Structure 1
Amino acid sequence: MGFFFKNKKKNKTEETMAQASEVTTETTTADGMILSREGIKLGLPSVSMEEAIIAAGELLRDLGYVDDDYIPAMIRRNEEASVYMGLGLAIPHGTEDAKKNVKKSGIIVMQYPEGVEFNGGTAQLVIGIAGVGDEHLEILAQITEAVTEDEILEKLKTTTDVDYILKTFANME
């Protein structure tokens, strides 16, 4: 039985990598969450934690997901409870009271190969999220599901292929 599960994991990884070769400009999940090519920034230089959160918020704003007031709420969220998830991943998002500042649900992906220090951990991937109503909880769950395989997460941290990132998040279930 153990062999079956190992092969299943390997096949899913290979399938995801193969699908990454297809070219798309945006990815929409079943919940209508959109990740666009413009929402993916790769190979960014290391910055401070606050600068990374602000950059994520500004990109969410620039793409029309949130208004200006959402950005300080992302910083407050990290002060209340760290948005660093471990394994090189941070998922900044706004506080409960900032829901009114979300225009539509969406995510952005910012890659810092050299890492950003987040409350004792180092994040190479910063995935900013905005969720209308309670959609942020589903978005968090979908992101977690998409990056559960070590091979995929490690490739997300180092890839120079925007299409790979689009396809990885298109496979969120």
Structure 2
Amino acid sequence: MSVLSIGQIRIHAGGATQEAALQEATDILVSAGAVAPAYVDAMRQREETVSTYMGNGLAIPHGTNETKELILDSALSVVRYDGGVDWAGDPVTFVIGIAGRGEEHLEILSQIAILFSDDDDVERLTAAQTPEELYALLADVNG
């Protein structure tokens, strides 16, 4: 199951608002054929209930359980904002949007959590210069 392609990875020199980051994550997932455009609303609902900030500069926005019908396929979007995102008060550099069919999102989430729990891995992800380099570092998540 390949959930990530190089086209779903972006690096921005600047920052973004949380709202803009949620929209970009959704746009990438829509382009990948993974979600309907309304998925951004599902992500907003999730953030209103509980922040998807995970620590170590990572947020993993995803929809609520009630909005599963908006998910067409499992996929990830990976965006690095070198200028940072204020994620409801927490500093975020990586915004990884997740769309998972059935229970697949749980496996994807655990792979990402493992990767971002290692400071050396986070340092490598932050130092990567191109989407291709990021893609190589994220290969384990891709299954």
Is TM more than 0.5 here? yes
User: Which secondary structure does the structure 2 equivalent of 1:110 belong to?
Assistant: strand
* Equivalent residue number for residue 91 of structure 1: 60
User: Which secondary structure does the structure 2 equivalent of 1:170 belong to?
Assistant: coil
* Equivalent residue number for residue 123 of structure 1: 92
Residues 97-155 of structure 1: CA deviation (Å, up to 9, x unaligned): 11111111011100101100012211100000100012111111011122222121122
Name segments (4+ residues, structure 1) moved above 6 Å. none
Aligned partner of 2:25 among 52, 56, 69? 56
Q: How many residues align?
A: 142
5 Å-filtered alignment, 1:87-166, equals 87-166=56-135
Aligned identity (percent) is: 37
* Residue pair 2:73, 2:99 contacting (<8 A) in 1 also: yes
**Matching residue's letter, 2:58:** L
5 Å-filtered alignment, 1:11-30, equals none
Gaps of 5+ in 1: 1-31
User: Which secondary structure does the structure 2 equivalent of 1:35 belong to?
Assistant: coil
Gaps of 5+ in 2: none
User: Which secondary structure does the structure 2 equivalent of 1:127 belong to?
Assistant: strand
User: Which secondary structure does the structure 2 equivalent of 1:66 belong to?
Assistant: coil
* Residue pair 1:102, 1:131 contacting (<8 A) in 2 also: yes
* Residue pair 1:54, 1:75 contacting (<8 A) in 2 also: no
Shift of 1:44: 4.4
Structure of larger gyration radius: 1
User: Which secondary structure does the structure 1 equivalent of 2:12 belong to?
Assistant: coil
TM-score by length of structure 2 reads 0.92
* Equivalent residue number for residue 38 of structure 1: 7
* Residue pair 1:39, 1:108 contacting (<8 A) in 2 also: yes
* Equivalent residue number for residue 14 of structure 1: none
